[in-house]
Structure 1
Amino acid sequence: MRTRFYGALLTAAVLLTSPACTASHDAPSPESKAGRGGTRTVRPVAGCGANSWTDPADLSPTRTPARCRPGTPVPAPLPEPRRITIATGTLSAEYVAPLQVALDKGEFKKEGLDVTLKVLPTPDSLPLLAKGDIDALWAAPEAAVMNGVRGGFDIRWVAANFSPDPQSKSGLWVRLKDGETGDRVTMAGRRMGTMIGKGSVIAYPMEKALGRHGGGLDEIRYQQLGSADVLTALQNGGVDSAWLLDPVWRRVDGRPGYAFLGGQPLGEPLGGMLYGPGLLGKDADAGVALLRAYIRTVNTYFAADYKSDAAFVTYLAKLLRTDEAILRSTPSLRMDWEIRSGTTDRLQAAYRAQGVAEGEPLPESRTVDRALYAEAVGHRP
């Protein structure tokens, strides 16, 4: 497979100039606060140069995501193996693919990490994450997360996941009523199927779409459904609208009676990895190692249009247990580990519009920590 060949070749090349070989010649940076135990040394990382970091304030929809060379950042195994449990709402969605591939290809093991992916809804995962019963959550900074942090949970959003391709129609879909067209839909009072219900990050892009179609976040009735039930409920009339992810929306695209109203902002990830107190604090070395494996997987297998590799798509469909034809029919996600400035501010504004936010808005310093992925790629702020 092309991606595997290039990844192995470049990994071998950068080993000659790995961080272990250059660390003693690099001055420590006093800027990284990862680990909560004071400053940490951040050194240049072979294979991760100027393109491995972008300005978080850049909200351009055409922004090129940060990238290192394939196979980098190279593994830096922990002195002692560490077991890590990551909760996720599903194992079959395409946005979970980097974790599935990292597990299958042994990228976590290369860091000395024994990783388990556990399917759990976000509301069930949050108290476990806060207590340290699980280590990380592959989800999003939803209203429940914000309210938990406000209530004292030591949780931060530490890495992003993806933004959509401009050709994607992942987003808000609606069943049209008699006489309606996709140009103008009356959304007020309709029932919407969603995995999260009120307080999901989709409230932010939904607010924009609803504003164009005679509705508001407080005028929609929400029905929480399992990930496998959202599409079924939309098709059989159980709900009037639904937020459909890649590649699920292909099952209704072009069919009479359905319309796409809008999706996630281009260039702005809305989810990814959340850490609890362990990986943010005393186990920050493991936290950096976990992100290093994730970032390396993105650089090696998902750097650009990964669906142009037919063999890789076949492999991915089997791994995700999804229909290969459907997976192939949607554009590649733009995998992106970086978090944009102000995203949690905009999300909290949407949660307030839904009536599910508690108290005053949290500053980004309470919701986001970029220091761990910055350290993983050798970026000194």
Structure 2
Amino acid sequence: MRIHIRIRIRTRKTWPIALLAAALLATASAGCAKEDDTGGSGSAKPRTIEPVEGCTAHGWTDPEDLAPDRAPARCEKGAPAPQKLKKKRKLTVATGTVSAEYVAPLQMAVEKGEFAKEGLDVDVKVLPTPDALPLLAKGEIDAQWAAPEAAVMNGINGGFTIKWVAANYSSDPKSRSGLWVRLKDGQSADHVPMAGRTLGTMIGKGSVIAYPMSKALKKHGGGLDEVSFRRLGSADVLTALENGGVDSAWLLDPVWRKVDGDKKYAFLGGQPQGEPLGGLLFGPNLLQKDPDAGVAFLRAYIRTINTYFAGDYKKDPGFVTELAKLLKIEEQVLRSTPSLRMDWEIRSGTTDRLQAAYREAGVAEGEAVPEEKVVDRRLYAEAVGHRP
């Protein structure tokens, strides 16, 4: 079976949160599925869950376990085994990029035919999150590789069936991807007053990065409401930090390597250890209309992690070469940072912590959305054979 990958790149600039929320709400009149359409759940009906060979020992961890050093769930290599659907389904998945390392399991699942083994023909489209969200809510695309950002919460608050159904990764403890600041004369890296500073980032206040950014700022006498954000292009963030255009910046892999070890800069903090902040969002198609395909998609995704990304995958030189080619990035760049800790499970309370940061940043609208309206662990539980 042949898998066709169609990549379309749009250049529309990111919409402000208020405009995006308005666009999401406007789609209600166009016939989008709402929570009320499914008796308030917006998810698949109760399904029969059977034990899955290769996943019974460590295929599930307690969502309440927030220990930074917890071991992520893992099945045996090649598990969960494919269960090919009787009828082939074509699914469209949107992602903001196909070259970032955290997208590697999605790309590898396509490349290795893991989706095809399930009877899925997966079409990957490059679409910015603001463009993709209304399409997901209307059922014009099936899934989105993104995160429960402020715009997602605001859309769910408006009644739309969008849920976070699987996570993606957390950073290795050795990684220093995160908030960096340029020290002033006489300042110690142990305490850097951040109130009044200018922060350069590709990511606005409505991103999930607001959560770890808030934690880092508060440790050093600041908060999201006490710093000035300056949105910059990916190639400009480091330059602005180095030439004084901004006082601090959120540096991603592998950009932080450029300042690591330089005493003029200090690392203030990054993504919480052991807590993924993004992953897969499903809309009404896979939550309500065709949950069999939703489970099959997650089964292929989870199998890809267990087969290719179970541990320190960068120890395998051949795999790094293959991965660099797939992601279209330089092999040396890929090797320069630790392996990500790929993790399909969603931790308890993450969406509450995210929303607290959005509210602090002034981008949350309406009441806080309870976790059960945002998160659905049942489909990946079925994929690994875990009975709640």
Please state which band the TM-score falls in when normalised by the shorter chain: 0.7 to 0.9
Secondary structure at 1:172's aligned position in 2? strand
- Residues paired across the two proteins, number: 349
The more displaced of 176-185 and 144-153 is: 176-185
In 1, distance between residues paired with 2:100 and 2:241?
Answer: 18
Q: How does 1:228-377 map onto structure 2 within 5 Å?
A: 228-377=235-384
Question: Structure 1: which 4+ aligned runs deviate by more than 6 Å?
Answer: none
Give the residue type in structure 1 aligned to 2:112. K
Q: Does 1:205 align with 2:212?
A: yes
In 2, distance between residues paired with 1:34 and 1:285?
Answer: 17
Partner in structure 2 of residue 41 of structure 1: 48
Give the residue type in structure 1 aligned to 2:249. A
Partner in structure 2 of residue 174 of structure 1: 181
Give the residue type in structure 2 aligned to 1:293. A
- Change in 2 beyond 3 A, CA 1:187/1:368: same
CA contact (8 A) 1:34 1:372 kept: no
| RMSD value, Cα | 2.0
- Change in 2 beyond 3 A, CA 1:193/1:88: farther
Partner in structure 1 of residue 140 of structure 2: 133
Q: Does 1:116 align with 2:118?
A: no
Tell me by how many angstroms 1:203 deviates: 1.3
Query: Percent identity, aligned pairs only?
Result: 74
Secondary structure at 1:186's aligned position in 2? coil
- Change in 2 beyond 3 A, CA 1:211/1:36: closer
Partner in structure 1 of residue 224 of structure 2: 217
Give the residue type in structure 2 aligned to 1:148. G
Tell me by how many angstroms 1:132 deviates: 1.2
In 2, distance between residues paired with 1:108 and 1:80?
Answer: 13
Partner in structure 2 of residue 190 of structure 1: 197
- Change in 2 beyond 3 A, CA 1:126/1:229: farther
Secondary structure at 1:326's aligned position in 2? helix
Tell me by how many angstroms 1:263 deviates: 0.7
- Change in 2 beyond 3 A, CA 1:279/1:183: same
Partner in structure 2 of residue 94 of structure 1: 101
Deviations 1:10-54 (A, max 9, x none): xxxxxxxxxxxxxxxxxxxxxxx9984532111111111130000
Partner in structure 2 of residue 53 of structure 1: 60
Give the residue type in structure 2 aligned to 1:341. S
Give the residue type in structure 2 aligned to 1:296. R
Give the residue type in structure 1 aligned to 2:265. Y
In 1, distance between residues paired with 2:111 and 2:185?
Answer: 48
Partner in structure 2 of residue 29 of structure 1: none
- Change in 2 beyond 3 A, CA 1:377/1:164: same
In 2, distance between residues paired with 1:84 and 1:241?
Answer: 41
- Segments of structure 2 that go 5 or more residues without pairing to the other structure are 1-39
- Change in 2 beyond 3 A, CA 1:123/1:376: same
In 1, distance between residues paired with 2:187 and 2:298?
Answer: 46
